Structure 1
């Protein structure tokens, strides 16, 4: 019984390592990519494929979805170098860097959608 319990516990602990870096949530826009806290993720029109254009004050308001230094791409998820002073890595979906909006307060908020005509809810 102990071996079976231990095996199940190990599977449960290891499972998140193979999961996508973010999840799926429902917003007024439909299925939306969300961070591990359930907060809506956004893309920025000024980003180029695999490169973030949101630095400085922009990155204070639009928080990059940071990736661990050893994060590995999986499926449609890629990891980019921020290319700014932070030296952090960032998750991207289909080449588009992902961000949360600092003014969203609860899961499901989409207050950043359409901001300055350049920010959009990230959808699969």
Structure 2
């Protein structure tokens, strides 16, 4: 079995206990929040409208708050994919696009939580 399949299988086990499993979603739960496979904190943006299929964070905003790439994921609820203005696929949770924060430097950093009262970690 390839290492990537092992990582995805491990993520599936984590998600099945508290969240509906989403195939190929590169996220996991750690300390009550969603993080990437490498442990980087995932955020939502209050200016995004759930289920709109769009991200309100583009241009300079996207430099500070990079999108969580959906890659080739074929997610199941509560995950989905939105198409960004630049045409790339971004992963969403409960209809809200997901982001990283460029100022988070290592796994476990949460420096973007409540930034300007509009950015929040994704709690699950």
- TM-score, L = length of structure 2: 0.78
Equivalent residues, number: 108
* Structure 1 residues 60-108: Cα deviation after superposition (integer angstroms, max 9, x where no partner): 000100112x4312121101111x1x21000001101100000001111
Distance (Å, rounded) in 1 between the aligned partners of 2:65 and 2:114: 13
Are the structure 2 counterparts of residues 23 and 13 from structure 1 closer, same or farther at C-alpha, using a change threshold of 3 Å? closer
Residue equivalent to 1:61: 64
Check conservation: 1:67, 1:89, Cα contact below 8 A: yes
Pair 1:79-2:81 in alignment: yes
Give the number of the structure whose residues are more often strand, by fraction: 1
Matches within 5 A, 1:1-124: 9=1, 14=5, 16=8, 18-26=23-31, 31-49=32-50, 50-68=53-71, 70-82=72-84, 84=85, 86-124=86-124
Which of the two has higher C-alpha Rg? 1
Name the CA distance, whole Å, in 2 between partners of 1:53 and 1:112. Answer: 17
Whether the 8 Å CA contact 1:21–1:77 is kept in 2: the answer is no
Segments of 5+ residues of structure 2 without an aligned counterpart are 10-22
Structure 1, unmatched stretches of 5+, are 1-8
For the residue of structure 1 that corresponds to 2:73, the secondary structure is coil
| Alpha-carbon RMSD | 1.9
User: C-alpha displacement at 1:113, in angstroms?
Assistant: 0.7
TM-score (norm 1): 0.78
